[in-house]
Structure 1
């Protein structure tokens, strides 16, 4: 049977498409499996931390519980990082559980910093199987990046059959996946914080936030309404370890991984080791991200066969089908100008109890108030600001600052003003660094002569 030249070209296109599809599926499946294993293996660096606050005569006790992660192993000595607020109630009675509340070790608090909310603990023996985690700093986390939060949330203890036992085995650790919503947020305490929608609960505090390679990039610290959760910078942990003279394992940035992979290609024997080590137990041995080669091969072959069939069917079906043109509807560009006071008031249709309410209590426009469902700009420029000061008002820039309503409360941002924006306690708000301020906040513009009150509701 003779095959026409046209038919040969079609078959070549089909075979090339199938080869490309097979390669893409293979690479994607391998990357997905390696990433999943790296995150799951991160569990071997996580522990539960308990602070026993008060013990009663009947043997019962009050406690607070959180999570920690191993940052250094030397012989039978384990160094663990956690949040300061996990151990602050009674730092003399801090324990790390091995399997449950009946099997735990006393922990010495080596370092505690309320400002950064970081504590460093030391435990002797009993944590065999736990490994130190790699700390990645500096780390350029970007918006929408996938991250994973590990820990022992109290809500799980509450629904467990053995709720009072505080089970702390590897299989009891939870892993929640989320995306970064703000990589450089400054919280009320002035800490550099990452905001994420990964679900965390009381009990997760002090646990590691890891990237797809299982490297610690932040420390889970607090949560707010609206599924907004914060994790402080891993640099605070690194600074604490350096001040104590304790070594730690550094992670690899993406650029370093690419360089290592390029170097490995030159030496085939070492290529398999590029991304194998995620943790170190203090003696240099690694925990490889192993996964089933047989299962992966089956998945790739099956996907390739299905892909080839799909390409053949689509090619034959559409061989002479004319291409349809699709014209996108014309989009009206959105204005980037800040809304005026009049626009803010006209667009407000929500109940007053949920609106942003900003008023000048002291200063040139004392008594003036603006309500908005979103954001209110403050300054001397009437074309850009909702709360407008006279043109000759001293200490006020044209567009001085903005107050926004977020799901978790009020956020204040100084927009690079000449004279500064200050909280009621005198702390200066860093320019262009949004600051969470709860549901009510008082602040000053330039000096103490101009006082602004922002709140949610009337």
Structure 2
């Protein structure tokens, strides 16, 4: 199955939960084999996209029925693309169900070198072709306008870095997200190129690991976001066990290392992975 990150434009769209709920097999003797054709499918729609308070997990709220057995299965759209992983039902309202957004899953797949493919739209037809034609005309008009304006006045070269900074700002705020089970998806936002320290010392670190966490020093490393270059800068603070890139390469102590958004690194052991991105 292909992966597709949910977007606000999908609110109200029909989705399907696929799995093997135990109740379906216990109620009647319906299953005599276990294959893809035996899966149970329930349908509903996306109610909203939200970020869970306290953990920072991105969730999909839906009225698509889930039960024991199809939790952990995929929540797919009408094209069969996976939007999330079926996870929970509300204790307050039995018609509210939640799936973890696939955007939370992709970094884990990357970290563990698990291959996947992203959803891409099928070849255009019908109204899609019409809209594409209108868009193409609009692009041509814009190109002509740009050419005309360029003849009148050239933009100064020094304006480019500021423009790039604005584009990066539009992409979201820089954050670090712990993928360690002890943090439950905790997110820490970075501000004004101020370094955030990570380690076990709760007096100096903003991302704090529990005492005794294997591989993590008291003041292990720090990270900040370079707004001009649009990269995260990670520095190991002479930690005992080292700071490593996702591929296993150790970062030299006291040596700033640049990482693009949607990257990860870990403190001593892979369980202590930190994900950096613009959200």
Same fold (TM over 0.5): no
TM-score (normalised: structure 2):
0.41
Q: Which has the larger radius of gyration?
A: 1
